[in-house]
Chains A and B, each alone.
Chain A
Amino acid sequence: MSAIAEVPEGVETEQLGYGRAINAALAEEMRRDERVWMMGQDVAKMGGVFGVTRGLLDEFGPSRVRDTTINETFIVGGAAGAALTGTIPVVELQFADFGLVAGDEIFHKLAKWRYMHGGKLSLPVVVRLPTGVVGGAGAEHSQSLEAIAMHVPGLKVALPATPADAKGLLKTAIRDPNPVLFFEHKGMYRTKGPVPSGDDYLVPFGEAATRRRGDALTVVATGLMVPRALAAAERLAADGIELEVIDPRTLVPLDMETIVASVERTGRALVVHEAVRTAGAGAEIAARIQEAAFFSLDAPIWRLGALDTPIPQDPDLEQLVIPSGEQIEAAARELVAL
């Protein structure tokens, strides 16, 4: 029982950062399909505030890589309008938090336009949302808001936790005819890992990845909490406690089958995310586990998440708000002993 490779065996890979993997996905998809284009604040010459889109302007030109003004309602609503009329926009909001500035466009226009109009129109839009804490970005630039997206029907929600998934999920998102909110963790842009080199590496939506096999406890973790849970699992393994770590990768659609099958084997579940614990995705996952596997459970399902407080600006303080590896380790030890 141990960690599982991030990329299936036999696939040719290169070491890439999470941000570069996203860049590669964008470039490949724009080469593959001329209808794919992108816009956002400072995405062209500057390459985005996090440098993720660097170089794309040079290859694809100012028509397909567009700097906008500071206008989130247009970035998202304009993408909706463009998607209705034959192109495939991939737009970047500088911070996922700014999605709230475009709330009507995300939750009403993207999520409902097709439904309200009798299913006659499609909205192939990807909204890239740099999410999570990054070190001092503050209360309005550090949130993990994916549960809100999960709560409004009509939006697919992806949260890659490895460079390989960042590439494979984004390529799938761009090819999906539905609107996708793509929560990329901005604290992980420089995390390196093996990334499949081929153009055709797609990670399907609704297929969780089991990151580690174990029999003592199922840990369901997303985003930044995946590496933290895996590190905690290594420490516990030294004491003979083997955690199974599952990364759902997409919350909509959500692969409950893999999670439930694991809990049926381990009898215990801990759900961990960086988002606020109250009414987070973990609440939904925990509820669904107990609906499907109540009689397999040997202990209550626990959740770890951020405190019920905004993210403080100070980089040291912000870490106190979200779950640490030590907290995951402690919770796992306690839960296994129950």
Chain B
Amino acid sequence: MSTRTEKTGETGTASAELALDLYRQVTRIRALELLLHRYVKEHGFGGFWHPGLGQEAVQAGAVSALRREDYLFYAHRGLGYALVKGMAPEVLLGDLFGRTGGSVGGKGGGTVHFVDPELGVLGQGGTLGSNFVLGAGAATSVQLLGEDRVVAVFFGDGAASRGTFHEAALQASVWKLPVVWICENNGWHLSAPFSAQSPTEDVADRAAGYGMPGVVVDGQDSVAVRAATLAAVERARAGEGPSLVEAKTLRIRGHYEGDPQRYRDDIADGLEVPRDPLRILRERVPAAAADDLDAAAESEAEAALEAALEMPKADPGIVTEGVWT
């Protein structure tokens, strides 16, 4: 089987209902990103927040292509993945601030490990690129149990360099596992530009070596991301094996909030998102509806922050809990 990297020039079609739903998700993520930016700047908190500002369309577009029972291994940048999968924003913020109302009961803080087994949110590892093998393993369970589920594994262009990608992708293709590999290519391996660390223009080119389709989409266009992911998800669900979807997107902020980004001169230090996913979606959504959704998202984020800050910190006893089942 030979495969070629396909670059989708078209943005795909979207019903009015779908466009509205994507707008709602993107603006919800954006509101939380901006709120967190403000909060961390003003108050700081005990950890490193890796902002996902600018990458909302990938997270909303791709996760919205999954069903509730599908499994999700998300990446470290932003909280959009877990939010769109169905986790409540106050729970996510509770995790960030290390509060008992967070999904890990106050053990988190900073770099987060959101989890919700009911929603298929299975967590993330602190070593980048460690989710590949777990994702392929989860897909092996799905295959063994004959379940109708798909596993989505998110990663950045930096984590794509890990050897674990090779080991997991190869085995997943050989066994035709129901996995979708979703690369958020924001152009930066922390301080090194992707172009300096990749011999090819696209991560998706690597898919051919594993006999799977590799698709490049505009990661600022949530409709296009959703369409590409959905095609990959359907292929996986049909038992035809994994696919690689590469969404070209933008990292607006630093690697972590507070990173002065001295290594970078392609972007002004601010909050402006070029090719803003919200602006792109507004072409498909009535202005009044979009305005309403923006306002609702802001209220949701403010309420979530208030709720999270009211949650107590964990008792010291939590330190030794949860090692063993």
Contact = CB atoms under 8 A, between A and B. Distances in A.
Interface string A64-105: 101011011110111111111111010000000000000011
B118 to A, nearest CB: 10
B263 interface: no
B115 A118 contact: yes
Interface residues of A, number: 45
A82 B325 contact: no
Contacts of B73: 81
A65 to B, nearest CB: 11
B187 interface: no
B130 A81 contact: no
A292 interface: no
Given A81-B134, A86-B141, A116 B104 contact: yes
Interface in A94-135: 104-105, 108-109, 113-124
Contacts of B53: none
A74 B168 contact: yes
Nearest to A120: B115
B144 A64 contact: yes
Contacts of A81: 73, 122, 133-141
Contact of A74 (B116, B122, B167, B321): B167
A117 B167 contact: no
Given A113-B123, A118-B107, A120-B104, A74 B130 contact: no
B122 A121 contact: yes
Contacts, number: 149
B170 interface: yes
A63 interface: yes
B77 interface: no
B11 interface: no
A154 B248 CA distance: 38
B2 interface: no
A300 interface: no
A295 B122 CA distance: 50
Contacts of B127: 104, 108
A9 B130 CA distance: 48
Contact of B145 (A73, A77, A87, A154): A87
Contacts of A117: 103-104, 113, 115, 123
A85 B170 contact: no
A240 B141 CA distance: 58
Contacts of A198: none
B103 A63 contact: no
A74 B103 CA distance: 27
A210 interface: no
Contacts of A89: 137
A37 interface: yes
Given A63-B144, A109-B134, A119 B122 contact: no
Contacts of B161: none
A277 B104 CA distance: 39
B164 A121 contact: no
A73 B171 CA distance: 11
Interface in B111-133: 113, 115-117, 122-123, 125-127, 130, 132-133
Nearest to A116: B113
A315 interface: no
B174 interface: yes
A310 interface: no
A178 interface: yes
A68 B113 contact: no
Interface hub of A66, A69, A74, A118 (most chain B Cβ within 10 A): A118
Contact of B122 (A72, A76, A85): A85
B196 interface: no
A179 B147 CA distance: 24
A35 B125 CA distance: 25
Contacts of A109: 125, 130, 133-134
A77 B168 CA distance: 9
A-B pairs, top 6 by smallest CB distance, nearest first, are A81-B137, A77-B133, A119-B322, A118-B104, A78-B137, A81-B134
30 contacts: A39-B140, A73-B167, A74-B164, A74-B168, A77-B132, A77-B134, A77-B137, A78-B140, A79-B137, A80-B133, A80-B134, A80-B137, A82-B138, A82-B140, A84-B122, A86-B141, A105-B133, A109-B133, A109-B134, A116-B104, A116-B113, A116-B123, A117-B103, A117-B104, A117-B115, A117-B123, A118-B113, A120-B104, A121-B123, A123-B325
Interface of B: 71, 73, 102-105, 107-108, 113, 115-117, 122-123, 125-127, 130, 132-145, 163-164, 167-168, 170-171, 174-175, 321-325
Given A76-B133, A123-B325, 19 more contacts: A68-B171, A71-B171, A74-B136, A77-B133, A81-B133, A81-B139, A81-B140, A82-B137, A82-B140, A87-B144, A89-B137, A104-B164, A109-B125, A113-B125, A115-B107, A115-B322, A116-B126, A124-B325, A177-B325
